[in-house]
């Protein structure tokens, strides 16, 4: 084959220099035609769009042509020609074809219209579908947008550890990390597991959040963010929970809860606007196939001011709804943790816009949130979204050493895990605030998909860690 530099299909489809010699490489989506001519739809993952390759069969080796089946990988040299068909400007009149990889007939993606459930069982191949190509291109774009947002505003990307000795959320939902031989665990004199024999000489786990280390960084570098995987061994088999998910956690010195709320609203709108500006082909595909109201919903959220409401106000609205006959699965009363059904009622039915809820009872929030003057509620905030419920959780942090120490003790968190965190409150403590955005929850909203397993390449959930 003649050596011609490869053009990606995304770039090729924009070209109008018809007559040029080009090379493309990609996977066969479909092949149709007659005895004389074949039309091959080729996709290389650079865009949702395929390029049509026209092959006059007479000029090619018959054995080679037989290998051009759905899923096969081809390198094609040809002439860029103006397309007569609808939709696309350019197609390729093939002059040379090399089959880089044949695809045998057990290929599970022969036909269109597989269910999302089936595609989860073949997560190693699903990026080859239009749907997952679109989702993973959007996922990349959103990761880029997040870095750009913070970098442009002088935040530093700070890397927090994945293996830790502490439980940042104090919820005890951690995966243990150990090299101990579980069939023959070292025991101390009291018959307890002897972690001195373990790899780190102490009990360790995968992190549930980078926040505590992020706070150390914010009280030194000013404005930081973390963006990495976090792990939670909560046994919630829901369409919104993963055992391994990615979280974005900005933390800013001198920000109070209001600054934090403003940052959260501005940030999430920026991300959604970025998707509208940079991922339109993929969004349109997802809208057409999965969620007819997607683009309108995205535009609405960018254009509307989020509702601010206290937890107490929210509970009142919910109690009134119950009194008027609305049925919730979980009970509503002041002090109860809100379930996703409650959050969605407030957002979708009552306020009809995203809601930033603040001032929760301290009992249902983490130990590090700043206590309000009432001694009952904390300066925390959750951002609640249509279809999702909670997408962001954050707070102003408790900065007073004694108050924080008491909160740690009240929550039965061992001081041996927290001394370094408390140190920041001894050495030049300052007001500071931050939040965590669940990256996959953002992707659920932006893609319109309804199961979180479909917005991460290889989901980890209870009883599932394949691939
Ligand atoms: O509300 P969370 O637990 O807050 C924190 O972890 C804080 N340390 C954040 C901070 O203030 N720096 O989690 C933050 C967000 C949630 O709002 C949700 O979007 C997402 O992380 N999240 C999950 N996403 C997928 N699967 C799970 N199991 C999740 N748990 C939380
Ligand atoms: Mg939360």
| 60 phi, psi to nearest 5 deg | -125, 155
Domains of the chain with CATH codes: 9-101 (2.40.50.140), 126-173+208-454 (3.30.930.10)
Residue nearest to atom 17 of ligand 1 (CA): 392
Cα 441 to Cα 248: distance, rounded to the nearest angstrom? 11
Q: Which atom of ligand 1 is nearest to the CA of 383?
A: 17
pTM of the model: 0.96
Whole-angstrom Cα Rg for the chain: 27
Cα 94 to Cα 56: distance, rounded to the nearest angstrom? 8
In this structure, how many other beta carbons lie within 10 angstroms of the beta carbon of residue 153? 15
User: Would the CB of 342 count as within 6 Å of ligand 1?
Assistant: no
55 beta partners? 38
| Region of residue 294 (phi > 0: left; psi between -120 and 50: alpha; otherwise: beta) | alpha
Please tell me the predicted confidence (pLDDT) of residue 193: 95
Please tell me the predicted confidence (pLDDT) of residue 225: 98
Name all contacts of 228-232 with Cβ < 8 Å and 24+ positions apart.
228/159, 228/160, 228/162, 229/162, 230/206, 231/162, 231/174, 231/175, 231/206, 231/207, 232/173, 232/174, 232/208
Cα 383 to Cα 307: distance, rounded to the nearest angstrom? 10
Ligand 1 centroid, distance to 147 Cα (angstroms): 19
Q: Which 3 state secondary structure label does DSSP give 446? A: helix
Tokens, residue 207 = 């992190």
Q: Which atom of ligand 1 is nearest to the CA of 441?
A: 19
Best substitution site from 438, 440, 445, 455 to test ligand 1's pocket, by max atoms within 8 Å of Cβ?
Answer: 438
Q: Which 3 state secondary structure label does DSSP give 112? A: coil
Cα 424 to Cα 430: distance, rounded to the nearest angstrom? 9
Contact 228, 249 (CB under 8 A): no
Ligand 2 centroid, distance to 390 Cα (angstroms): 7
Q: Which 3 state secondary structure label does DSSP give 299? A: helix
Q: For residue 400, how far is the Cα from the chain centroid?
A: 34
Query: Which helix (H) or strand (E) is 420 found in, with range?
Result: helix 415-423
| 117 phi, psi to nearest 5 deg | -60, -45
CA dihedral 219, 438, 138, 110 (to 10 degrees): 150
Ligand approaching nearest to the C-alpha of 390: 1
User: Would the CB of 397 count as within 6 Å of ligand 1?
Assistant: no
Cα 201 to Cα 186: distance, rounded to the nearest angstrom? 12
How far, in Å, are 70, 91, 167 from residue 21 at the CA level? 25, 12, 59
Cα 304 to Cα 225: distance, rounded to the nearest angstrom? 26
Residues 6 or more apart whose CB falls under 8 angstroms from that of 377 comprise: 311, 312, 359, 360, 361, 362, 371
Query: Which helix (H) or strand (E) is 74 found in, with range?
Result: strand 73-82
Cα 80 to Cα 92: distance, rounded to the nearest angstrom? 5
User: Would the CB of 247 count as within 6 Å of ligand 1?
Assistant: yes
Alpha-helical (H) ranges within 28-77 are 62-66
| 378 phi, psi to nearest 5 deg | -120, 155
Ligand 2 centroid, distance to 215 Cα (angstroms): 17
Residue nearest to atom 27 of ligand 1 (CA): 241
Ligand approaching nearest to the C-alpha of 210: 1
Cα 280 to Cα 272: distance, rounded to the nearest angstrom? 11
Residue nearest to atom 9 of ligand 1 (CA): 436
Residues of the chain with pLDDT under 50: none
Cα 114 to Cα 108: distance, rounded to the nearest angstrom? 9
- DSSP state letter for 428: S
Ligand 2 centroid, distance to 364 Cα (angstroms): 10
Q: Which atom of ligand 1 is nearest to the CA of 249?
A: 12
Please tell me the predicted confidence (pLDDT) of residue 105: 93
Could you please report the per-residue DSSP string of 370-417?
Answer: PBPTTSSEEEEEEEEETTTEEEEEEEEBP--HHHHHHHHHHTT--HHH
């Amino acid at each position: 084959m003649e050596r011609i530099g490869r053009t990606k299909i995304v770039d090729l489809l924009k070209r109008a220099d018809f007559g040029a010699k080009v090379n493309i490489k990609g996977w066969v989506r479909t092949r149709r035609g007659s005895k004389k001519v074949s039309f091959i739809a080729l996709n290389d993952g650079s865009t949702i769009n395929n390029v049509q390759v026209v092959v006059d069969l007479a000029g090619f080796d018959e054995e080679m042509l037989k290998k051009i089946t759905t899923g096969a990988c081809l390198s094609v040299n040809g002439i860029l020609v103006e397309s007569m068909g609808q939709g696309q400007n350019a197609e390729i009149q093939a002059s040379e074809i090399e089959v880089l990889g044949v695809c045998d007939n057990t290929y599970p993606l022969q036909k269109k219209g597989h269910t999302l459930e089936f595609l989860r069982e073949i997560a190693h191949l699903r990026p080859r579908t239009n749907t997952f190509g679109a989702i993973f291109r959007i996922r990349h774009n959103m990761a880029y947008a997040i870095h750009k947002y913070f970098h442009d505003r002088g935040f530093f990307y700070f890397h927090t550890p994945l293996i830790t000795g502490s439980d940042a959320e104090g919820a005890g939902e951690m995966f243990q990390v150990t090299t101990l031989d579980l069939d023959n665990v070292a025991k101390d004199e009291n018959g307890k597991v002897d972690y001195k024999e373990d790899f780190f000489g102490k009990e360790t786990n995968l992190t549930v959040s980078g926040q505590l280390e992020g706070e150390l960084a914010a009280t030194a570098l000013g404005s930081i963010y973390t963006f990495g995987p976090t792990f939670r061994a909560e046994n919630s088999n829901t369409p919104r929970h993963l055992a391994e998910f990615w979280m974005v956690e900005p933390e800013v010195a001198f920000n109070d809860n209001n600054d934090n709320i403003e940052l959260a609203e501005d940030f999430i709108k920026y991300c959604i606007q970025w998707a509208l500006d940079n991922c339109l082909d993929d969004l349109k595909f997802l809208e057409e196939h999965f969620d007819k109201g997607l683009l309108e919903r995205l535009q609405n959220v960018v254009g509307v001011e989020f509702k601010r409401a206290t937890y107490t106000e929210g509970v009142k609205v919910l109690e009134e709804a119950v009194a008027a006959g609305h049925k919730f699965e979980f009970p509503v009363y002041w002090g109860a943790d809100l379930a996703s059904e409650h959050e969605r009622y407030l957002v979708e039915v009552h306020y009809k816009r995203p809601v930033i809820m603040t001032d929760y009872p301290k009992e249902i929030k983490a130990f590090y949130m700043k206590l309000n003057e009432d001694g009952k509620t904390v300066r925390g905030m959750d951002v609640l979204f249509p279809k999702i419920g909670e997408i962001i959780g954050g707070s102003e942090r408790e900065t007073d050493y004694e108050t924080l120490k008491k909160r740690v003790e009240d929550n039965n968190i061992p001081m041996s895990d927290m001394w370094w965190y408390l140190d920041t409150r001894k050495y030049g403590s300052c007001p500071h605030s931050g939040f965590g955005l669940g990256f996959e929850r953002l992707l659920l909203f932006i893609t319109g998909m309804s199961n979180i397993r479909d917005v991460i390449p290889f989901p980890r959930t209870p009883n599932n860690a394949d691939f």
